[in-house]
Copies of this chain bind each other. A is one copy, B any other.
Amino acid sequence: MAEKTNLGRFFEDYTVGQVIRHAVPRTIKMGERALYHALYPARHALYSSDQFAQDCGLPFSPLDDLIAFHVVFGKTVPDISLNAVANLGYAEGRWHHPVWPGDTIRSESEVIGVKQNSNGKTGVVWVRSRGLNQHDEVVLDYVRWVMVRKRDVDAPAPKAVVPELAEVVPASDLKIPKGLDFTNYDFTLAGEPHRWGDYEVGETIHHVDGVTVEEAEHMLATRLWQNTAKVHFDAWAREDRKRLIYGGHVISMARALSFNGLANAQMIVGLNGGAHANPCHAGDTIRAWSEVLDKAETDAPGVGAIRLRLVATRSLAGGGLCKLRGEDGKYLPEVLLDLDYWALMPM
């Protein structure tokens, strides 16, 4: 009669080359989309209307890009980040195929790096996680690294392996959904007239709107992706008795808020990096601003790629200043998220 419950993995449990098949595949349909659109002010037309998607060359409207991300990520939590002290970063993320309503998604992760910290109590683990659909196609992959507790501080340190990661996914490596064609794009229905050519590298956009977040909402969201991290649900899990909001909730909220000014940044196809700069709690009011980091052409008709920094902040009434770091080079205390991604936009 062995102990039946899962207390999560510790630093010693990871070795480079190890592949972990994560549990609980998930069939996702339109119910998940309805919830996503109730949880976030998501309005990108391609993810809202079958007709609009068809006019852009797709068979119908796919599930939101970040639904794919959350579902894949959520499955990794019990094996990767249940005992994580911190979620340190993302890199080399790519959306390979849209996720369609009815698809069944499962996840697996390969350990690609380990490095014990000098304090001897924790270490950093790098994994490349993949989401696969029922046809065994990769729909999304990305690298994530987390700081994980050691079970036994006296366990010997493994040989340090630190993967070399691209700072940016090259535009030429982005996958464009099959059939995507923006040549007949309806800017009125999409909500804004600004096309790819209207954005300049270095331009910042303050997205105007804000949402004050509630405990019930972030827990609904986090559970929907079958993310089981205790700190999001159990008010007794942390000494401050505050539930921590899943970083992905902040990502989705900020991305949805960015509609106002980036309504035509329709599909996220690359994740270059990301930092959850400060914790977010219920009662915080999330706002967002973006910076255009780069632009690139693609082979798809009428489709440009735009590289954006998406910054989520909290509780700045009015706001309007697009500031990220203080004079010390550190993130300002009101910054929650600094995300670097590629999106597709009509040219």
> Which A positions have Cβ atoms within 8 angstroms of B?
1-2, 4-7, 21, 23-27, 29-35, 37-41, 43, 45, 48-52, 60-61, 78, 102, 104, 106, 134, 188-192, 194, 198-200, 203, 205-212, 214-217, 219-221, 223-224, 226, 228, 230, 233-237, 243, 260-263, 285, 315, 317-318
Contacts and interface: CB of A to CB of B under 8 A. Distances in A.
A190 B51 contact: no
B191 A41 contact: no
Given A21-B188, A43-B24, A261-B4, A285 B35 contact: no
A205 B2 CA distance: 10
A38 B223 contact: yes
Given A35-B38, A216-B216, A217-B220, A4 B194 contact: yes
Contact of A48 (B24, B35, B102): B24
Given A7-B208, A48-B226, A212-B215, 5 more contacts: A1-B203, A6-B192, A24-B189, A32-B34, A235-B285
Contacts of A26: 48-49
Copies in the complex: 3
Nearest to A52: B25
Given A32-B34, A51-B134, A224-B38, A234 B209 contact: yes
A60 to B, nearest CB: 8
Given A27-B48, A51-B134, A285-B236, A209 B230 contact: yes
B211 A228 contact: no
Contacts of A207: 5
Contact of A31 (B31, B104, B317): B31
Contacts of A317: 236
A214 to B, nearest CB: 4
Contact of A208 (B5, B32, B34): B5
Contacts of A41: 223, 226, 228, 233
A223 B5 contact: no
B49 A27 contact: yes
B27 A29 contact: no
A51 B27 contact: yes
Contacts of A219: 211, 214, 217
